[in-house]
Structure 1
Amino acid sequence: MKKIICFYTLLLSASIAFAQNKVLYTISFENANHHLANVSVTFPQTDSDTLYIRMSRSSPGRYALHEFAKNVNNLSAVNQQGDTIEVIRKDPHQWMIPNPKGTTRVNYTLFANRGDGTYAQIDLSHAHLNIPATFMYAQEFFNNPVEVTFIPRKDLNWKIATQLPLKEGTTYTAPNFQYFFDSPTELSNFKKRSFDVESKGKTYTIEFVLHDHSPEDLLNDYFEKVKGIVLSQKQVYKELPEFDYQRYTFIACYIENASGDGMEHRNSTILTDKEGLANGGMHNNIGTVAHEFFHAWNVERLRPKDLEPFDYSKANMTGTLWFAEGFTSYYTNLTLVRAKIIDQQEYVKRLNGTFNYVWNSPARQLYNPIEMSYQAPFVDAATAVDEIDRSNTFVSYYSYGSMLGLALDLSLRQNGLTLDDFMRKMWDAQGKSEDPYTIDDLHFNLSLYAGKDFADNYFNNYIYKGGMPDFKTLFESVGISMERQEDKPYIGIRLRQNQVVAYPLNDSPAYISGLTKGDKILAINEIELTQDTDFDEILSSFKVGESLNISYLRFGEQQNTQLILKSDPTYHISLDPRAKRRVEKHRDHWLTN
């Protein structure tokens, strides 16, 4: 028995040592002009008779499928002796290598030409690498450490920006694949700024890397805004997260060939847009900085249980995106006004679009915020060739959750509490320890903070159901007016060159009349529409309740219908100039705290 125990002890020790064998990557960009990278990966010896390798189908922070295998070409493999070995395509995402001997080196070419928070882009301006879109992996070695060597284009003055720790030269490491896949990397001739922040006795370096054509002085101005965002959001939680290696890196690509996006990661974030700082980005891109940095707490560490562990072989779904993404969206503009990047008037002005979109959506009658969150795999940068009636069946969990966060904050403030304090309670309860939360945890912690009756009312009416809070009363409490032009006629369609370009909202006059997307309006009460016709001007000449005769073209045939105008449901939200001083103080405490 003693010999058997010793044998199994030795076997276990050998297995642990074996499991720690590194997966080694090298990536180079000799043919960057044609969006190609050459990738080599060396896998340790497998303990089975077949090595299975695959490309991811999803990416951290994204919830839809993206099928990265479609961009892999010229795949081949050699064994430890350098002999070419057979590779068999098992399915669209996976390959199998039968009976490998020792280590296995796989080589392939990657085509990459989308610069955003999910995909990779390689050209003569940069190598913008989201890791799941770039590197193959073997599930068998998912917990093994990783080393990756980037070979930058020296002729293009490329440098390397990543949250990965540097080993030596241009070789970086990761403790396992979850960390590796969560570590986007930018190779380009970028600029960099940094500053240090003290938190709980530690010093953290906040880096801002910018790939942009703008001059240095604009970067300096923008970086001051980034500083303000970091310090404002730190004030919410009273501390920074414990960033690994005591460093956090913003990686911004504001160049013509990028696509607008932002994506949070554990110790970094990707920020992309076509607008550089010199041509609109100074103003238009800063909100994404605020949104993504707030995720360093809310999502990266205060994390939905449904997303742990993140599965790269399928779409990942959670019912908590109204909180994870929505409350983060609420704090986006709140951060900007608190950091004095925008003023109070601009903050309130920005409420209009989001509020009316959520308030007037018929989709709330179909799905509550939890069920809206479940639709993320169909909408989060997902692609489809068939028509989808999203205007009637979906409200973005970003917008929906943002309005619910606003309502919760203003409701708490009527009771001498704040959403800041609740977020901090959630952070203390489950964020610091990285104990993933459920919807029940959110409900329970709100009960502990604000009382059971308050929490039950909020969740039963607005989370488990699609109800809307009494925003008029809530807005009045902070000196904001909410008014509607009841005499303004409303038809409920969006036109482009007189053609209906979106499905009408349920119960709108256009919907009831039978008009739908694709119809081309020819005449209203025998007033012919031309390319130069101002539709809104014509509509304003009629009154609410008036019946209109609509002539339109569908599938090449002229048709007619009747339509009865309703009152425009759009609310105008603005600062109330008649607000009392005590109410203004209440608003100031909210927007400057």
Structure 2
Amino acid sequence: MNKIFLVLLFLSFLGNAQTNTYHISFENAVHHEAKVNINFPEVKSNSITITMSRTSPGRYALHEFVKNVYGLKATNSNGEMIKAKRIDPYSWEVSDHDGTVNIEYILFANRGDGTYSQIDETHAHLNMPATFMYAKEFEHRPIEINFETRKDLDWKVATQLKQISGTTFFAPDLYYFMDSPTEISDFDLKEFDLEGQNIQFVLHHKGSEEEFSEYFDQVERIVRQEKKVFGELPDFDYDKYTFLACYMPNVSGDGMEHRNSTILTDKESLSEGGMKGNIGTVAHEFFHAWNVERLRPAELEPFDFSQANMTGSLWFAEGFTSYYTGLMLCRAQINTPREYIDGLNGTFNYVWNSPALDYFSPVEMSYQATSVDAATSVDPTNRENTFISYYSYGSVLGLALDMALRQQDLNLDDFMKLMWNKYGKKEVAYKLSDIEATLKEYAGERFGSEFFAKYVYHSNMPDYKNLFESVGIELVQEEGKYTGIPTTETTGGLKINRNTSKNSPAYEAELTSGDVITHIDEIPVKTKEDFETAVENSNSDVIKVKYIRFGEERTAEVKTEKDPTYIIRLKENPTREALKRRENWLQAK
């Protein structure tokens, strides 16, 4: 990255006078606290504003990290207290300085995932926006940070930041610093060289060396297959990419991409299901090194730490990446073709049968990320009927586009490669219209126009039956009666656990979330098995449902329908042409 080396060259002449320095220590890790010190030298203005981020790269909703900051104080170059006035919920105005501003505060952190930070006696898992305050007026200044590690816990530092010496690291500017998560723990490390660049896998876990070796072999196969899609690796800064994996019982499951690294967290150890359960996140997040980190929507460039960030392209940035997640596991020979095809069922049916198709296109689903991407709220919503995850929606669109292209002896890999060469490799942010224009360039004006008009700007569904047929896959409808009543077993009875789906039998019968089902056709039901057996054994297409709402017993008549669920499966005897397409699609490259 030329910008980084120019900054380094500049600093070599000017020294460190214009460098902001950070220091963090973990004496009270047992109580999830860290102490942070920041030094801002050569402050020319009468006052500066010190701010805590409200959101984080890769997340699109607000998180208000300032809630875990306390004990803040400001001093000058002599250590004398100076004025720090809180001017809004997440900022302080610091004045009366002597050209130097020192900030100190305590951070509480106890959620280990891709958005937040966690500090305890197992590690210091740091997402920078959740950890460090900043001064926006100095956003172009380089940053030097020292992590005061716990030597008694054998802690080491893993990060995409450039190491200066020991536990001191460098970032060329504020944005790079904020985009550089850091894992400090007694971790294990494996690495390999690819195209002259170092691919590191840092693993904080309680497993064995043998388990890590087996897992790392899968990681390497994934990296090589994803490189084949785009034809080359990105030009990683400092020639290094780092997976920061923490598979410990105290973390929360997540994955979060960054420019030259990714956070991978899960409670499952490799020996307790993580070997199979966590590898998909590896595939998803590394694919982001191309698609979203460098092949980037214009609305996210630059990322704004002070407010929610919205783009209509997440069906492509996140959704197409989700499509490639399962496909890469198949091509890397971690999952078999049958496992991959079977794994399409859940996502396909979720999208295909969603009433939200009546309301929003993939673009508009992407806009809702600011309300759903790890966002929190206390009021109920009707998302069961109004929202489809852009991850899932984009994934089935990517599947449809790939199969449609393959019918013309084209493929999605080459389209992604074209997008990469036009935008990602040059790091030119794209607009939604640029994706459409590139598809027209690659597959023809008519094909590109129709795909976007029908499936991107509107919520029509592609002809999946025909598309699946072209690669030797069949799409058949499930047998059985369908009520559309989603239940969960509780101590109070069999409860409808979410809003019923619009136009379903349950919805039409005016059953809704919170209702407690007691009888089906006068037969008492207390478990999901009771419920399903009573429905299947009913002699009528109309079942009588007794339920309790607001403490009163009521009765509804539910007219059952044929189950709308589809099964996607490999055809046993596909045509030779379909089999060839399937092999070209799924085989290792």
Structure 1 counterpart of 2:289, from 296, 303, 316: 296
Question: Is 2:135 the partner of 1:134?
Answer: no
What does the per-residue CA deviation read over 1:437-457, in whole Å, with 9 as the maximum and x for residues that have no partner? 011000001010000000001
Partner of 2:4: none
Q: 1:413-432 residue pairs with structure 2 within 5 A?
A: 413-432=406-425
1:414, distance to aligned residue in structure 2 (A): 0.2
Partner of 2:117: 120
Q: Contact between 2:116 and 2:130, CA under 8 Å: does it hold in 1?
A: yes
Q: Contact between 1:166 and 1:172, CA under 8 Å: does it hold in 2?
A: yes
Partner of 2:522: 526
Local SS of the residue matching 1:466: coil
Question: Cα distance 1:532–1:509, how it changes in 2: closer, same or farther (>3 A)?
Answer: closer
Partner of 2:185: 188
Q: Contact between 1:51 and 1:100, CA under 8 Å: does it hold in 2?
A: no
Question: Is 2:569 the partner of 1:577?
Answer: no
Question: Is 2:278 the partner of 1:276?
Answer: no
Partner of 2:557: 562
Q: Distance in 2 between matches of 1:530 and 1:425?
A: 56
Local SS of the residue matching 2:537: coil
Q: Contact between 1:164 and 1:173, CA under 8 Å: does it hold in 2?
A: yes
1:87, distance to aligned residue in structure 2 (A): 1.1
Q: Distance in 1 between matches of 2:206 and 2:407?
A: 47
Partner of 2:52: 55
What does the per-residue CA deviation read over 1:189-212, in whole Å, with 9 as the maximum and x for residues that have no partner? 0000000001xxxx0000000000
Structure 2 counterpart of 1:475, from 468, 478, 484: 468
Q: Contact between 2:535 and 2:543, CA under 8 Å: does it hold in 1?
A: no
Identity %: 54
Partner of 1:342: 335
Question: Cα distance 1:208–1:532, how it changes in 2: closer, same or farther (>3 A)?
Answer: closer
Local SS of the residue matching 1:87: strand
Unaligned 5+ runs, structure 1: 1-12
**TM-score, normalised via structure 2 length:** 0.96
Q: Distance in 1 between matches of 2:16 and 2:553?
A: 71
1:534, distance to aligned residue in structure 2 (A): 2.2
Q: Distance in 2 between matches of 1:514 and 1:17?
A: 72
Q: Distance in 2 between matches of 1:509 and 1:172?
A: 60
Unaligned 5+ runs, structure 2: 1-9
Structure 1 counterpart of 2:586, from 579, 588, 591: 591
1:45, distance to aligned residue in structure 2 (A): 3.1
1:20, distance to aligned residue in structure 2 (A): 7.2
Q: Distance in 1 between matches of 2:16 and 2:321?
A: 38
Question: Cα distance 1:42–1:329, how it changes in 2: closer, same or farther (>3 A)?
Answer: same
Q: Distance in 2 between matches of 1:221 and 1:61?
A: 29
1:18, distance to aligned residue in structure 2 (A): 11
What does the per-residue CA deviation read over 1:481-533, in whole Å, with 9 as the maximum and x for residues that have no partner? 11013x51100121112110011110000000000000001111111113485
Local SS of the residue matching 1:84: coil
What does the per-residue CA deviation read over 1:119-147, in whole Å, with 9 as the maximum and x for residues that have no partner? 00000000000000000000110111000
Local SS of the residue matching 1:449: helix
Q: Contact between 1:489 and 1:542, CA under 8 Å: does it hold in 2?
A: no
Q: Distance in 1 between matches of 2:538 and 2:435?
A: 49
Q: Distance in 2 between matches of 1:18 and 1:51?
A: 23
Partner of 1:549: 544
**Letter of the 1:333 counterpart:** G
1:48, distance to aligned residue in structure 2 (A): 2.0
Q: Contact between 1:19 and 1:141, CA under 8 Å: does it hold in 2?
A: no
**Letter of the 1:520 counterpart:** V
Question: Cα distance 1:405–1:528, how it changes in 2: closer, same or farther (>3 A)?
Answer: same
Question: Is 2:94 the partner of 1:82?
Answer: no
Question: Cα distance 1:148–1:63, how it changes in 2: closer, same or farther (>3 A)?
Answer: same
**Letter of the 1:577 counterpart:** E
**Letter of the 2:246 counterpart:** C
Local SS of the residue matching 2:49: strand
Q: Contact between 1:36 and 1:112, CA under 8 Å: does it hold in 2?
A: yes
Q: 1:362-377 residue pairs with structure 2 within 5 A?
A: 362-377=355-370
Partner of 1:510: 506
1:578, distance to aligned residue in structure 2 (A): 2.2
Q: 1:56-455 residue pairs with structure 2 within 5 A?
A: 56-198=53-195, 203-455=196-448
Local SS of the residue matching 1:27: strand
Partner of 1:492: 484
1:429, distance to aligned residue in structure 2 (A): 0.5
Q: Distance in 1 between matches of 2:287 and 2:538?
A: 47
Q: Contact between 1:358 and 1:399, CA under 8 Å: does it hold in 2?
A: yes
Q: Contact between 1:392 and 1:506, CA under 8 Å: does it hold in 2?
A: yes
Question: Is 2:33 the partner of 1:33?
Answer: no
Q: Contact between 1:493 and 1:503, CA under 8 Å: does it hold in 2?
A: no
**Letter of the 1:494 counterpart:** P
**Letter of the 1:393 counterpart:** T
Q: Distance in 1 between matches of 2:93 and 2:16?
A: 20
Local SS of the residue matching 2:356: helix
Question: Cα distance 1:407–1:108, how it changes in 2: closer, same or farther (>3 A)?
Answer: same
Q: Contact between 1:230 and 1:293, CA under 8 Å: does it hold in 2?
A: yes
1:112, distance to aligned residue in structure 2 (A): 0.2
Question: Cα distance 1:109–1:456, how it changes in 2: closer, same or farther (>3 A)?
Answer: same
Instruction: Using the TM superposition, name which of 525-534 and 470-479 deviates more.
Output: 525-534
Q: Distance in 1 between matches of 2:15 and 2:261?
A: 31
Q: Distance in 1 between matches of 2:28 and 2:15?
A: 36
Q: CA RMSD of the aligned region, Å?
A: 1.4
Local SS of the residue matching 2:194: strand
1:424, distance to aligned residue in structure 2 (A): 0.3
After the TM superposition, which parts of structure 1 deviate over 3 Å for at least 4 consecutive aligned residues? Answer: 16-20
1:44, distance to aligned residue in structure 2 (A): 2.2
Local SS of the residue matching 2:583: helix
**TM-score, normalised via structure 1 length:** 0.95
Q: Distance in 2 between matches of 1:346 and 1:18?
A: 57
